[in-house]
Amino acid sequence: MLDHRPAASPSAAAQSAVDILGERPSVSIVVGDLSSRGAGRWNGAVRPFLLAQALQSGGYPVEIVGFSAEDGAGANLHSESGSAPAASQALPIANILIHVVPLATPAPGPRALDKFFRHLSGDIVYAYKLKPSSFGLALLHRRVARSRPRRPLILDIDDWELSWHGGDDYRYRPNPRQLARDLLKSEGALRHPDHPLYLRWIERLVANADLITTHNDFLQQRFGGVKIPNGKDTELFNPDRYDAEASRAAYGLSGYRVLMFPGAPRPYKGVEDILTALDRLNEPDLKLVIVGGSPYDDYDRTLRDRWPQHIIHLGKRPYGEMPKVIAAAHVVVVPQRQTPAAQAQFPLKLTDGMAMAKPILATRVGDIPAILNGCGYLAEADAPAQLAAQITAIFADYDQALELGRQARDRTLTHYSMAAMGAGLHQAIQQNILSTVHWRSQVPECFHQS
């Protein structure tokens, strides 16, 4: 367990800086992977873009700086007009400035690093993910950027990265020949900056961050810091703007009772448990509608091949269309399994459904019970029989299920809106960054009067 630092109380000097000058420090968010397999998926609906929007809502000027190894770097990132950026072009997504630096190799070379560092213009550097390709580069930038005062460094941890490689049990024990291949071959494993060995090493460096933010209890208990749950655009995800029957008709779902999974299926997400529950119920009008697909493998196709009678696959949809898609659901399902990877996540599909006032069926994994706080239906993880029983209970009294959905919407407005996320971030920065810098010597440049 690392870096459990209590939040400091805001100093009068730091607070008065904002009150008197009416300005906020600018923030550069560092993202190691802006490709369609990384943060570039879902067209800006993942954590770094939520952080950027939340900071903007608090008056902080924000830019995002990252890499992409895809042809036409950042091609999956689109502006509101739908145009795609050229390599390293500054692009507004919801008025967020994005700099995408192209990569020719897994690790950035000197030219790419120079371009990357030149884009980091913020008074605060905010590294997204505990990885060498983001936090590691932010630490390197701190060492090489000697020409300006030391800038505060924030680290956001939204996953336990090592959980994908065995967690605390991971060991790298190559024989000499394997070590040579991993180090010397052009595609050698150790030439990738985010190899699990390096992920283990960088966990030891979290104390170098001036502030750690995360989004759930599991990660906070492991790494410390301040919990900032993901916010939802509750104006976009507003059930009053959509008609459920019209949405079902638009997507060919009329006549079905729709259990919706809005996301990319992965084994730890428990989709197989829902499908096994549908096997038990054997009611042909119950359908699992999967919206999206895995960018990593053919797991979603494997599911369709095994359960063709239960699955309707809508494929990936633009983020702006997702409220209309979710409006078609009778129930949104979040059947996470009890794994470290699932415990370390904040499932965005959960607050998608809550914001749209949908009945939620989820499992008791991680923060899910606390997020719902009684405004949904819960089953134990890895328990298809319990999921089947809850599906039956939901449709036995669907009016009550809809009432719980309305309560979930109210809870989202209070605790999981972009405004709530922005307020939490602002408080964390005030208490842990601006109150701890030495006034007039290390305070961000934007606070110095001319």
Domain holding 309: CATH number?
Answer: 3.40.50.2000
Give me the pLDDT at residue 444, please: 47
Give me the pLDDT at residue 71, please: 62
Q: Which one, of 77, 36, 426, 78, lies nearest residue 231 by Cα?
A: 426
Q: How confident is the model at residue 131 (pLDDT cuts 50, 70, 90)?
A: very high
> Helices 384-396 & 398-415, crossing angle to 10 degrees?
100
Mean pLDDT of 385-411: 98
Residue 358 is part of which domain span? 239-415
Q: How confident is the model at residue 89 (pLDDT cuts 50, 70, 90)?
A: very low
Compare 202 and 300 and report the one with higher pLDDT.
Answer: 202
Mean pLDDT of 210-218: 96
Q: How confident is the model at residue 92 (pLDDT cuts 50, 70, 90)?
A: very low
353 pLDDT exceeds 90? yes
Q: The tokens of 364 are what?
A: 């008791």
* Residues contacting 349, CB < 8 A, separation 6+: 261, 262, 263, 332, 334
Spatial contact of 328 and 248, defined as CB atoms under 8 Å apart: yes
Q: Are residues 187 and 274 both part of a single domain?
A: no
Q: What is the pLDDT of residues 178-188, one digit of tens each?
A: 999 999 998 89
- Per-residue burial over 203-223, b = 16 or more CB atoms within 10 Å of its CB, e = otherwise: bebbeebbbbbbbbebbbebb
Q: How confident is the model at residue 336 (pLDDT cuts 50, 70, 90)?
A: very high
* Residues contacting 281, CB < 8 A, separation 6+: 388, 391, 392
To which residue do tokens 């873009």 refer? 49
Q: Are residues 272 and 391 both part of a single domain?
A: yes
Spatial contact of 33 and 39, defined as CB atoms under 8 Å apart: yes
Mean pLDDT of 301-307: 93
Percent of the chain surpassing pLDDT 70: 85
Q: Are residues 367 and 297 both part of a single domain?
A: yes
Give me the pLDDT at residue 139, please: 96
Residue 144 falls inside a structural domain = yes
Residue 364 backbone phi and psi in degrees, to 5: -80, 75
Determine whether 165 is exposed, middle or buried from the number of CB atoms within 10 Å of its CB (0-12, 13-18, 19+). middle
Give me the pLDDT at residue 293, please: 80
* Cβ neighbour number for residue 400 with a 10 Å cutoff: 12
Q: Are residues 249 and 368 both part of a single domain?
A: yes
Compare 418 and 442 and report the one with higher pLDDT.
Answer: 418
Spatial contact of 184 and 334, defined as CB atoms under 8 Å apart: no
Q: Are residues 16 and 119 both part of a single domain?
A: yes
Give me the pLDDT at residue 84, please: 37
Residue 244 falls inside a structural domain = yes
114 pLDDT exceeds 60? yes
If DSSP codes are grouped into helix, strand and coil, which group holds residue 125? Answer: strand
443 pLDDT exceeds 60? no
Q: Are residues 19 and 149 both part of a single domain?
A: yes
Spatial contact of 112 and 101, defined as CB atoms under 8 Å apart: yes
If DSSP codes are grouped into helix, strand and coil, which group holds residue 23? Answer: coil
Q: Are residues 179 and 262 both part of a single domain?
A: no
Mean pLDDT of 269-279: 97
Report the domain count for the chain. 2
- Average pLDDT of the chain is 86
Q: What is the pLDDT of residues 34-86, one digit of tens each?
A: 987 778 766 667 899 999 999 998 899 999 999 988 765 454 454 333 333 33
Residue 7 falls inside a structural domain = no
Residue 289 backbone phi and psi in degrees, to 5: -100, 115
Q: Are residues 427 and 302 both part of a single domain?
A: no
Helix, strand, coil shares of the chain, percent, nearest 5, are 45, 15, 40
Residue 280 falls inside a structural domain = yes
Spatial contact of 69 and 104, defined as CB atoms under 8 Å apart: yes
Residue 6 falls inside a structural domain = no
Q: Are residues 409 and 423 both part of a single domain?
A: no
- The amino acid present at 217, given as its one-letter code, is D
Q: What is the pTM of this model?
A: 0.85
Q: Which one, of 439, 433, 427, 447, lies nearest residue 58 by Cα?
A: 427
Q: Are residues 145 and 173 both part of a single domain?
A: yes
Residue 1 falls inside a structural domain = no
Q: Are residues 279 and 373 both part of a single domain?
A: yes
Spatial contact of 89 and 115, defined as CB atoms under 8 Å apart: no
Q: How confident is the model at residue 145 (pLDDT cuts 50, 70, 90)?
A: confident
Compare 32 and 5 and report the one with higher pLDDT.
Answer: 32
445 pLDDT exceeds 70? no
Residue 172 falls inside a structural domain = yes
Residue 268 falls inside a structural domain = yes
DSSP conformation letters of 281-336: H--TTEEEEEES--SSSSHHHHHHHH-TTTEEE-----GGGHHHHHHT-SEEEE--
Mean pLDDT of 101-121: 89
Q: Are residues 22 and 70 both part of a single domain?
A: yes
